[in-house]
Amino acid sequence: MKRVAAPKRRRNRNFDLNPMRRREIIRHAIHVGAMDTEDRDRWLIAWHWYNHKAKDPIWSLMEAAKRMGGKITEAEASAVTEEASIIRKCWTADNLARLLGVTYAQRQELRLKTIGSTDIKRGARKVLRQRKDRLYREAKRRAAGMRPQSQFLSATQPWRQESMSRAAWYRQNKHRKTGETTLSAVSFLSKNDRPVSPEGGAGMEFERGFASKEARGHPSSQTAATPAADRFESLPVELRLLALGLPVSENLARVVA
């Protein structure tokens, strides 16, 4: 059977990455105290790169410096914007991380999604995310009471140790309860639904409208048909045939006449 590849997930074209990246740049600048260092222009330049739709970029950059925990003048903001137009832009997540010096530990602590890290590359981060997700789902299954796959019969294959076929092993190790019937299906008809014990006998009444017709005082289909047939028992055979509308032979018809 030919394997069909899963359809590719379409990217939302209306999604704008720039606002999220600007917030993360500000978050990292506050975390490392960037505005109190001599390299504060790196965070301001990076923030300005992703604010190209601003109507007043000078004023926007001054406000961004305030949110980073510092303050710059209009002349300083103008110089930063001019320098940002000269420097080659860092569009990828890892290149931006190298410019700002973002480590993987900082990325995890600040929950950065659009900025990479300097010490762990993109492929390694993907492997770590998959491992983290696998461990999370495994812990969730254990909390729900599920066994690990290593304990499944398909993995252990105990029939091979006993040198027998799988079907024979299942027949010999099929656990069945004696003395009790199995429970009802998934959808219970009554809150008092329970196994039926053999001590109850065949004439035990069922609950909530499932008792037999004799137990509820109504004649069953078999007992209701008996009196109708008994009414003609005292009549001769030929009269019973006529009453039932069956054909009568000529000899019987002469006797009846």
pLDDT tens string 93-121: 999 999 999 999 999 999 999 999 999 99
Q: What pTM, to 2 d.p., does this model score?
A: 0.55
Overall residue count recorded for the chain in this entry: 257
**By the 8 A CB rule, do 84 and 45 touch?**
yes
Query: What single letter denotes the amino acid at residue 152?
Result: F
Distance of alpha carbon 62 from alpha carbon 167, whole angstroms: 77
Distance of alpha carbon 20 from alpha carbon 18, whole angstroms: 5
User: Among residues 40, 84, 47, 85, which one has the least CA distance to residue 64?
Assistant: 47
pLDDT of residue 17: 87
Under 8 Å CB-to-CB from 30, ≥6 apart: which residues?
Answer: 68, 69
pLDDT tens string 60-85: 999 999 999 999 999 999 999 999 99
pLDDT tens string 3-42: 666 677 676 677 788 999 999 999 999 999 999 988 899 9
Distance of alpha carbon 69 from alpha carbon 72, whole angstroms: 10
Under 8 Å CB-to-CB from 64, ≥6 apart: which residues?
Answer: 22, 26, 44, 47, 51
